[in-house]
């Protein structure tokens, strides 16, 4: 907004760089530009101030689809004044020469023009398709249509307005219709969720069953290996026992052979002794026995001699003596 200072019959105006100021006198433009500072006579001057920054107008359109369903469109249109002198000729931007405020509402008039153009183009678009097709297409086709319509609009060109952006937030049916349309989707999503839950549970059951089967198979395999180990240990024990038995048998056979050999040698020695003593006379044998007996007297504690034994010895000695005499 311009800053106006009144000093007597003169006034001083200061405007910022974002506003274009036009000073008229006698119906003709005397000064025009942005960020001007000048003195003027209020009684003979008329001044218009136009904003040159980008502006944004909110639009809300309630329309009907081809199947008579309510549809709401909400968005914002960005615009700016491209030709301020042409705009000042079509819409009154005159300001008060005392306070610097606009005497009318020129910006609201521009926004009404833009809103009217947007509403007409949006209503035509919404009426050309049923609700399902509009919702499936989304807001991009409508945005492109509005951009084309606003850029090509002769009304905006005559006003010196340039459209810089078209933004649409949503394209939505009524709340009742939206809930009705969402119901099948919600049901389908719920069915998918239930199916996914069922599949997860089935998968969990399958995994648990596979784990149980694996554990059972492991236990069976361990039992089989334990059985094989026990059988192998039993075989090894039998082999060891058989080996011990065989070793004992070999040792026994060797000991028996040794005993038989020793006893055989002893028997053979006795036989040889007997063969030597067999041809000797009884008296010699008796003498040898007496000598053997005399050698063991130290170890004999008691000796029983009977008369029969002495008589037998005397007879043998007498017979031996007679034999020697006869032989001499």
pLDDT of the residue at 61: 93
SS (H, E, C) 240-274: HHHHHHHHHHHHHHHHHHHHHHHHHHHHHHHHHHH
What whole-number distance in Å separates Cα of residue 171 and Cα of residue 200? 37
List the chain residues with pLDDT less than 70: 178, 181-182, 185-186, 273, 275-306, 308-328
Residue among 158, 138, 160 at smallest CA distance from 75: 138
Which DSSP string do the residues of 198-209 spell out, in sequence order? HHHHHHHHHHHH
Task: Spell out where the chain has E strands.
Answer: 3-7, 10-14, 19-25, 28-34, 37-40, 46-51, 55-64, 70-81, 161-173
pLDDT of the residue at 24: 94
Spatial strand order of the sheet with 46-51 comes to 28-34, 19-25, 46-51
Per-residue pLDDT tens digits for 15-58: 999 999 999 998 899 999 999 999 999 989 999 999 999 999 99
pLDDT of the residue at 280: 65
What integer best gives the mean pLDDT of the chain?
84
Tokens matching residue 210: 């596979």
Q: What is the CA radius of gyration of the chain?
A: 71
Per-residue pLDDT tens digits for 121-131: 999 999 999 98
Residue range(s) in the chain whose domain bears CATH number 3.30.479.30: 3-173
What whole-number distance in Å separates Cα of residue 112 and Cα of residue 114? 5
The CATH fold assigned to 3-173 is Tetrahydropterin Synthase; Chain A (3.30.479)
């Amino acid at each position: 907004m311009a800053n106006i200072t009144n000093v007597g019959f003169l006034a001083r105006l200061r405007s910022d760089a974002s506003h274009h100021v036009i000073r008229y006198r006698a119906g003709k433009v005397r000064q025009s530009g942005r960020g001007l500072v000048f003195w003027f006579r209020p009684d003979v001057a008329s001044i218009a101030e136009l904003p040159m920054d980008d502006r944004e107008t909110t639009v809300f359109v309630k329309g009907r689809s081809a199947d008579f369903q309510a549809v709401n469109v909400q968005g914002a249109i960005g615009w700016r004044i491209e030709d301020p002198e042409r705009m000042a000729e079509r819409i009154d931007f005159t300001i008060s020469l005392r306070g610097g405020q606009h005497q009318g509402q020129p910006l609201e008039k521009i926004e009404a023009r833009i809103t009217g153009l947007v509403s007409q183009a949006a209503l035509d678009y919404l009426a050309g398709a049923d609700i399902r097709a509009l919702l499936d297409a989304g807001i991009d086709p409508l945005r492109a249509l509005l951009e084309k319509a606003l850029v090509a609009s002769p009304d905006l060109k005559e006003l010196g307005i340039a459209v810089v952006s078209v933004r649409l937030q949503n394209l939505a049916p009524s709340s009742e219709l939206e809930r009705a349309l969402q119901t099948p989707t919600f049901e389908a999503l719920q069915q998918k969720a239930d199916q996914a839950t069922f599949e997860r549970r089935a998968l969990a059951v399958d995994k648990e069953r596979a784990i149980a089967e694996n554990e059972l198979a492991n236990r069976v395999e361990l039992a089989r290996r334990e059985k094989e180990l026990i059988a192998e240990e039993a075989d090894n024990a039998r082999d060891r026992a058989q080996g011990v038995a065989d070793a004992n048998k070999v040792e026994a056979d060797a000991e028996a052979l040794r005993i038989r050999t020793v006893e055989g040698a002893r028997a053979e020695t006795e036989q040889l002794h007997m063969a030597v003593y067999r041809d000797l006379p009884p008296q010699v044998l008796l003498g040898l026995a007496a000598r053997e007996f005399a050698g063991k007297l130290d170890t004999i504690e008691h000796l029983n001699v009977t008369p029969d034994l002495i008589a037998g010895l005397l007879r043998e000695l007498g017979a031996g003596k007679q034999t020697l005499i006869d032989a001499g």
